[in-house]
Chains A and B, each alone.
Chain A
Amino acid sequence: MLNVLASLHPDQKFYWLIGGVAALLLIASVIGWVLKSRLARNPQAGERSQKVVNNLVARVNAWWVMVAVFAVAFLAGKPGTIILFTFISYFALREFMTLTPTRAGDHRALSLAFFLLIPLHYYLIYTEWYALFTILIPVYAFLLMPCISVLAQDTEYFLERAAKIQWGVMISIYCISHAPALLLLDIPGFTGQNALLLFYFMLIVQLSDVLQYVFGNLFGKTKVAPVVSPNKTVEGLIGGGLSTVLIGAAMWWITPFTPLQSAGMAAVIVTMGFLGGLVMSAVKRSLGAKDWGSMIEGHGGMLDRMDSVSFAAPIFFHLVRYFFTP
């Protein structure tokens, strides 16, 4: 059975995957529908359970849309995928900068970050210019953005503003872009299948979030970090994390990894994703907000969905690059 899966053509693998995800979503939709009609018949249902179920249904519906968008982008090949992530970075940066107290003096640097830096950075992935891709933001943007801001001669909170802008740009553009950057890796014996590796990565990150949410809602008692993120529980983390690692191991046939390596990679993705979620939650709270935005119904903003991606993608990218490319 497993060898059959491994020997499938990459396109066939993709259809199996998207079919599997659609089947999962269908089950989730049915569960949501059943819970909702049960609640409607139960007049004693508390407000809290109403809220949880409504949020669940909204989340699942949003997942259908997100999966559809992803599927279309994947089918459109490398340009489609890169354009999709360009927009993801754009929306993520827009959310970050909306909450960041910048001043008039930062206007030009910010405009350039949105309309020059984002397209340029993703263009480098498209043309596979790896060396410049790795330093464009940490070196050039890091140095040049405050150079532009300083011309406005506004010294009020200058370091804070420059640092916050750099943080937003690093997370929203640089870190998130390491997911589509998986497409530029040359992995021996895996040529032409990098899109599947990106699929694997996104699947593991998002499944980890979803399963932690499910386990947390079913069994969650002990909060991990109540001050930073009240919804994360130890039970959710362990249950969701372990089941994601198991699924990761079972998905080895779409990766260049052995089942054991695939479990290890999934464990890294789960850990970084979890920590990324915590850090981004702390950042968001220090900026005085509960959600990054409201563009994805039930989830919050783009960054609420991409927080774990931004922390897991660069690490996963470099592990693959170090161990699996010559």
Chain B
Amino acid sequence: MIVLLARFFLIGLVKLLVGANPRWMEAAPDVAQSIYFTNHSSHLDTLALWAALPAEIRATTRPVAARDYWGKGRIKRFIALKVLNAVLIEREVSRHSDPLAPLFEALGQGDSLIIFPEGTRRTQAEPSDFKGGLYHLAEAFPQVRLVPVYLDTLHRSMPKGSLLPVPLICTVRFGGAIFLQTGEHKKNFLVRAREAVLKLI
């Protein structure tokens, strides 16, 4: 109950602040298992994409969030784990564990994911080069749809280091799904995935 209320409140707050208006540019929304990958420029990214999804897709879609940020503090933990149902991952790569393991587990359960293949937040409108994570997920789960998403204006709304946001309308642009082709090289695939996001600008 509290979780539902918090979810409702959070969606309202995000929409009041940055609009988060979805625009499905190339294909209609699809409830099939998907990985939504997008450019990363602010702390509002996860919330904006999550709020822009249709309710029935949002119900099975879990944002991937850094444990060192979202795992700290009771409120942030509550929002991450209960409200957003996030998958928390370690940003520091250690030799003992695979940082992608929680993602494999979530995909294995049939959940959809929201990921930021650049890794960290950038200050500019265009995404920088993608890291390999997206490729490894696509390789292990070739049937999962990979949906490129572009978030505009959020790099202006809440750039790194700012305390208060500036409310600007963010249009969340969803592109058509792509898949890893058989035998496709890691580097080529990552370039192609990044271009799928760039195409939405």
Which chain A residues have a beta carbon within 8 Å of chain B's beta carbons?
90, 94-95, 97-98, 102, 104, 107-108, 110-111, 114-115, 293-295
Contact = CB atoms under 8 A, between A and B. Distances in A.
Interface in B154-182: 156, 159, 162-169
A98 B165 contact: no
Contact of B169 (A94, A102, A104, A111): A94
Contacts of A110: 166
B123 interface: yes
29 contacts: A90-B167, A94-B167, A94-B168, A97-B166, A97-B167, A97-B168, A98-B153, A98-B168, A98-B169, A102-B156, A104-B123, A104-B156, A104-B159, A107-B156, A107-B159, A107-B162, A108-B162, A108-B164, A110-B166, A111-B162, A111-B163, A111-B164, A111-B165, A111-B166, A114-B166, A114-B167, A115-B164, A293-B19, A295-B19
Nearest to B123: A104
Interface of B: 19, 21, 123, 153, 156, 159, 162-169
B53 to A, nearest CB: 18
Given A95-B169, A98-B153, A295-B19, 9 more contacts: A94-B19, A94-B168, A98-B169, A104-B159, A107-B166, A111-B164, A111-B165, A293-B19, A293-B169
A92 to B, nearest CB: 11
Contacts of A107: 156, 159, 162, 166
Contacts of A94: 19, 167-169
- The dominant DSSP class at the B interface is loop
Contacts of B165: 111
Contacts of A294: 21
Nearest to A106: B166
Nearest to A100: B168
Instruction: Across the A-B interface, give the 6 residue pairs with the lowest CB-CB distance, nearest first.
Output: A111-B164, A110-B166, A98-B169, A98-B168, A94-B167, A111-B166
Contacts of A98: 153, 168-169
Nearest to B166: A110
Contacts of A295: 19
Most buried by B among A98, A102, A108, A114: A98
A108 B153 CA distance: 16
A240 B105 CA distance: 64
Name A's interface SS. Answer: helix
Contacts of A115: 164
A97 B19 CA distance: 13
A288 to B, nearest CB: 13
A143 to B, nearest CB: 20
Contacts of B162: 107-108, 111
Contacts of B159: 104, 107
Nearest to B159: A104
Contacts of B164: 108, 111, 115
**Which of B21, B123, B169 has the largest number of chain A CB atoms within 10 A?**
B169
A102 B166 CA distance: 11
A197 to B, nearest CB: 30
Contacts of B21: 294
Contacts of A90: 167
For B153, B162, B164, B168, which residue has the most chain A Cβ atoms within 10 angstroms?
A: B168
Contacts of B19: 94, 293, 295
A107 B42 CA distance: 14
B121 to A, nearest CB: 14
A162 to B, nearest CB: 16
A166 B167 CA distance: 16
Contacts of A102: 156
A123 B71 CA distance: 39
A130 to B, nearest CB: 28
Contacts of B123: 104
A98 B155 CA distance: 12
A216 B87 CA distance: 55
Contacts of A108: 162, 164
Nearest to B153: A98
B25 to A, nearest CB: 15
Contacts of A293: 19, 169
Contacts of A111: 162-166
